[in-house]
Amino acid sequence: MIPRAPRPEQRKLRRVTLDIVPELPEVETIARGLAQRVTGDVIESVWLGSKPEPLKSPARLIAETLENSRISSVHRQGKHIVIELERDGSRRRKPRLKAKATTKDRAQWIVHLGMTGQLLVTSPDADLAKHTHAVAKLASGRELRFVDPRRFGRLCVVTGEQFEAGGAEPLDVDLETFIRLFRGRKTPIKSALLNQKLLRGVGNIYADEALFRAGIRPRRRASTITRAQFEKLYRSVQQVLKEAIEAGGSSVNDYVDSNGDPGSFQFQHRVYGREGEPCLVCRTPVKRVVIAGRSSHYCPKCQK
Ligand SMILES: [Zn+2]
């Protein structure tokens, strides 16, 4: 039986670690929460802040695309939240005379939370948080707000094509493709796992957790990993992500879900953030090393 790892006081300490960003399970949790709350609603109007960094598409294009669009679904791609929009020609403010009123245009509103981004569904009279960069007024009377103090988050719209985040989706990729992504690379396996062009959505926490379960040291060169170890790593990556999604993501961050509720992230880390604490399998103190500027945690005895 593996004991529960983080105690409340440790959790509090880790909150200030800037290393921690929302990863795939947290984004999945947020996207599912949003889907439940805003699917079917219509964006009536949009306010965008004056800070340029969060807007990856021109402000005018974002506003034009969002306004009078119906949210048909919300899902996750890698670490991006994809809000599918349906624009009924007849709902547009200034319909062109010759436009077919029945043609439904499709577009996508893409949100990347960066390090500190939040998407909040609020009542219109809720206090406007400092660092609010976008507010979408919904036909239901609520507002969908994008708040991001550190401004690494990004908003953009995609029209006329489908958004493609790049990299393979870790929960969909098959074993052979997974092995092909990493085999023969001279970089540490940890860096390769974090490379979003290979696998999208796996970040620091879940890379450490997956490597621990697979028994592979983070600094190990990908090219030295055997096929059997890759098979184990493949299963570990999927297992860790699925467990974390089930738990609602990690308990170590200060972002909240779309209810504005910070409480539901319960995933238990076995090595991440446990430097000096005993390994949950062999009691050897967990080690921390820095690889490509990021903290990596591993058990020197269980991982080779
Ligand atoms: Zn150990």
Angle between helices 227-247 and 24-38 (to 10 degrees): 40
Task: Please report the pLDDT score of residue 5 as a whole number.
Answer: 46
Task: Please report the pLDDT score of residue 68 as a whole number.
Answer: 96
For the chain, what's the residue count? Answer: 304
Q: Is 114 helix (H, G, I), strand (E, B) or coil?
A: coil
**294 Cα to the center of ligand 1, angstroms:** 21
**295 Cα to the center of ligand 1, angstroms:** 18
Task: Please report the pLDDT score of residue 115 as a whole number.
Answer: 87
Task: Please report the pLDDT score of residue 12 as a whole number.
Answer: 36
**193 Cα to the center of ligand 1, angstroms:** 21
Amino acid at 301: K
Tell the residue number behind the tokens 């000096």, with chain if given.
Answer: 276
Task: Please report the pLDDT score of residue 251 as a whole number.
Answer: 47
Q: Is 74 helix (H, G, I), strand (E, B) or coil?
A: strand
Taking the C-alpha atoms of residue 75 and residue 40, their distance in angstroms, rounded to an integer, is 14
**Could you tell me the pTM of the whole model?**
0.82
Active-site residue, selected from the candidate residues 106, 151, 294, 300: 294
23 catalytic residue (yes or no): yes
Specify whether the CB–CB gap between 248 and 17 falls below 8 A: no
Count CB-CB contacts under 10 A for residue 283: 10
**83 Cα to the center of ligand 1, angstroms:** 42
Burial class (CB in 10 A: 0-12, 13-18, 19+), 173: buried
**171 Cα to the center of ligand 1, angstroms:** 27
Taking the C-alpha atoms of residue 68 and residue 124, their distance in angstroms, rounded to an integer, is 18
Task: Please report the pLDDT score of residue 29 as a whole number.
Answer: 87
Task: Please report the pLDDT score of residue 252 as a whole number.
Answer: 40
Task: Please report the pLDDT score of residue 102 as a whole number.
Answer: 41
Active-site residue, selected from the candidate residues 6, 22, 25, 54: 22
DSSP letter assigned to residue 83: E
pLDDT < 50 stretches in the chain = 1-19, 91, 98-103, 251-256, 262-264
22 catalytic residue (yes or no): yes
Task: Please report the pLDDT score of residue 89 as a whole number.
Answer: 59
**106 Cα to the center of ligand 1, angstroms:** 51
Tell the residue number behind the tokens 């029209």, with chain if given.
Answer: 159
Angle between helices 227-247 and 204-214 (to 10 degrees): 130
Active-site residue, selected from the candidate residues 14, 23, 84, 154: 23
Residues 6+ apart with CB under 8 A from 125: none
HSE (CB half, 13 Å, CA atoms) of 183? Answer: 13
**10 Cα to the center of ligand 1, angstroms:** 20
